[in-house]
């Protein structure tokens, strides 16, 4: 009997990509994540599913970082700890075959550190860095995200850097870099983080010291 008869059909699926971005309290190794935004790509099509979360980083943001992301040190005190949501975040990101970031080394360092501090397994997928690809393609030119976006006809809507908007824009840059004809769906407005909690009125004067907070799980 020919060996090509009755063979089971080969099942294939589209490649799964998650594009993510973080905003942090600063750039130093001991800084923490303030917000995380992530979007899914299947094949070369951006999906509707997204993840957008804000956290209590347990420390104030450096003034330069605060000017970039705009998440007030008083407001962040009343948000979830990353550790409380770490299992959910890990499950959501584990859907991907590959993780894409603009400056992957930076973002992965903070994400993996937060997972480790929460006693959650590290992410094991390979990463793709759109910034490194930009440096190879546009040699001698700036590889900053805004500058890369300008070259391909994209730009941010908001003055402040939102992690979800930056993930969306990085997805557009990634699709361009891999030669995809896929287009980004238009976005009229960017939502707040899904877990954003209401905050009591800010006290006058210098903020009091942060009180201890225990993880809830």
- Stretch among 10-14, 77-81, 108-112, 177-181 having the lowest mean pLDDT: 10-14
Q: Say yes or no to pLDDT of 5 above 70.
A: no
The verdict on residue 183 lying in a domain is: no
Which residue range(s) make up the domain with 64?
16-178
Provide the pLDDT for residue 6.
Answer: 53
Provide the pLDDT for residue 37.
Answer: 98
The verdict on residue 200 lying in a domain is: no
What token pair was written down for 58?
């347990």
Q: Say yes or no to pLDDT of 125 above 60.
A: yes
The verdict on residue 8 lying in a domain is: no
Confidence category of residue 4, pLDDT binned at 50, 70, 90: low
The verdict on residue 48 lying in a domain is: yes
Q: How far apart are CA 73 and CA 214, in angstroms?
A: 18
The verdict on residue 40 lying in a domain is: yes
pLDDT tens-digit readout, 148-184: 999 999 998 878 899 999 999 999 999 999 999 877 8
Provide the pLDDT for residue 188.
Answer: 82
Between 68 and 6, name the one with better pLDDT. 68
CATH number for 141? 3.30.420.10
The verdict on residue 193 lying in a domain is: no
- The H or E element containing residue 7 is none
Q: Is the dihedral of CA 22, 23, 28, 29 positive or negative?
A: negative
**Cβ count near 198 (within 10 Å):** 6
What token pair was written down for 65?
């970082």
Share of the chain above pLDDT 70, in %: 94
The verdict on residue 207 lying in a domain is: no
Q: How far apart are CA 193 and CA 33, in angstroms?
A: 13
Q: Give the chain's domain count.
A: 1
What token pair was written down for 205?
């004067």
Provide the β-strand partners of residue 19: 39, 100
CA-based radius of gyration for the chain: 20
Check if the beta carbon of residue 12 is closer than 8 Å to that of residue 34: no
Lookup result for tokens 């440096």:
135
The verdict on residue 107 lying in a domain is: yes
pTM for this prediction: 0.92
Q: Say yes or no to pLDDT of 7 above 80.
A: no
- Stretch among 21-35, 130-144, 174-188 having the lowest mean pLDDT: 174-188
Provide the pLDDT for residue 1.
Answer: 45
Confidence category of residue 36, pLDDT binned at 50, 70, 90: very high
Helices (H), 15-96: 63-69, 73-76, 82-93
């Amino acid at each position: 009997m020919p060996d090509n008869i009755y063979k089971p059909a080969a099942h294939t699926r589209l490649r799964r990509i998650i594009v993510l971005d973080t905003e942090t309290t600063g750039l130093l190794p001991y800084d923490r994540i303030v917000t995380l935004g992530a979007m899914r790509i299947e094949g070369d099509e951006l999906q509707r599913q997204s993840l957008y979360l804000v956290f209590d980083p347990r420390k104030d943001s450096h003034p330069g970082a605060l000017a970039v992301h705009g998440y007030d040190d008083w407001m962040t005190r009343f948000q979830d700890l990353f550790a409380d949501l770490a299992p959910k975040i890990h499950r959501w990101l584990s859907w991907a075959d590959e993780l894409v970031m603009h400056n992957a080394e930076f973002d992965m360092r903070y994400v993996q550190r937060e997972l480790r501090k929460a006693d959650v397994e590290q992410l094991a997928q390979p990463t793709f860095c759109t910034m490194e690809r930009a440096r190879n393609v546009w040699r001698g030119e700036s590889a900053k995200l805004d500058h890369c976006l300008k070259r391909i006809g994209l730009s941010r809507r908001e003055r402040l850097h939102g992690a979800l908007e930056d993930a969306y824009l990085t997805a557009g840059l990634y699709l361009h870099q891999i030669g995809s004809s896929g287009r980004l769906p238009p976005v009229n407005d960017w939502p707040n983080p899904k877990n954003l909690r209401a905050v009591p009125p800010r006290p006058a004067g210098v903020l009091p010291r942060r009180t201890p907070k225990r993880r809830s799980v």
